[in-house]
Amino acid sequence: MQISSDEINRLLALSGQSRTTNARGTGTSTSTGDVSTNSGAAAEVEVSSQGQDVQFVQRVLSRVSDVREDRVQALKTAIENGTYKVSGEDIADLIIRRALADNASL
């Protein structure tokens, strides 16, 4: 799965953060680190730009709520007003889909 720059920027806008630019001119939020060895020489560890983007998006997504509050509030209002209607056909369809999905993962 590829995560586009547009998607990363959209997530950043949601989180209120911005990307920094490394020496290559690619946007990242992490930097390379140095690891010391016994001989006194340093080995450089570098994560690819794509790997850095994946790590960054994972951190941003971990802070984003799984609950869509606007949708929850709209459904609560519809239920309270008595305007929320679901057909038996829709319920049966979802039960069957869930059962098939659960069996497919076994």
pTM of the model: 0.35
Q: What pLDDT is recorded for position 91?
A: 95
Q: Which residues of 31-52 are buried (b: 16+ CB within 10 A; e: fewer)?
A: eeeeeeeeeeeeeeeeeeeeeb
Least confident of 2-11, 32-41, 46-55, 68-77: 32-41
Per the DSSP assignment, residues forming a β-bridge with 33 are 45
Q: Check if the beta carbon of residue 61 is closer than 8 Å to that of residue 11.
A: yes
Mean pLDDT of 51-61: 88
pLDDT digit string, tens, across residues 12-51: 777 666 555 444 444 544 444 444 445 556 777 777 888 8
C-alpha–C-alpha distance, residues 14 and 73, integer Å: 20
pLDDT at 99 over 70: yes
**Helices 49-63/5-15 angle, 10° precision:** 30
